[in-house]
Amino acid sequence: QKEVEQNSGPLSVPEGAIASLNCTYSDRGSQSFFWYRQYSGKSPELIMSIYSNGDKEDGRFTAQLNKASQYVSLLIRDSQPSDSATYLCAVMRDKIIFGKGTRLHILP
C-alpha cells in the first residue's frame, strides 16, 4: 500500500467555486500534515500545515484532518485561475513523505 494516496486528477472546478482535494495516508504514527502547491516547471511551496484533528483556516484555504480515518483534505474557496496547479499532500512521522499530487484546473 502506497504511504500517501491522492487522486491524480485532473480536477476541474469553475472559477469562484470550492475546490476539494483529498488525501489518505497509511502510517497511523504520522504527526504532521502538509499541503504544498506546485506550478508546472516550478518547485513545491507550502500552503498549509496541520497537526491536530479538525479544521485550520488561512484565507481562502482550509485544511481538515481526521486521524482516526487517516484522512487529510484541502478546501479552496472562491477558486481563481491562479489556483490551477498540482497540489501535493505530505505526511510526516520521522520523515516527510509526499503523495503524487492532484492536478487542479480552475475553469475561467
Decide if residue 88 touches other proteins (CB under 8 A): yes
Decide if residue 99 touches other proteins (CB under 8 A): yes
Decide if residue 61 touches other proteins (CB under 8 A): no
Which among 22-30, 60-68, 76-84, 89-97 is the span making contact with other proteins, rule CB under 8 A? 89-97
The residue (of 15 and 39) whose beta carbon lies closer to other proteins is 39
Identify the three-state secondary structure at position 86: strand
- In the list 28, 52, 95, 108, the residue contacting other proteins (rule: CB under 8 A) is 95
- Sequential DSSP letters for 9-24: --EEEETTS-EEEEEE
Decide if residue 94 touches other proteins (CB under 8 A): yes
Asked if the bond preceding 14 is cis, omega within 30° of 0, the reply is no
The rounded Cα 42 to chain-centroid distance in angstroms is: 17
Reading the block at residue 15, the C-alpha cell is 472559477
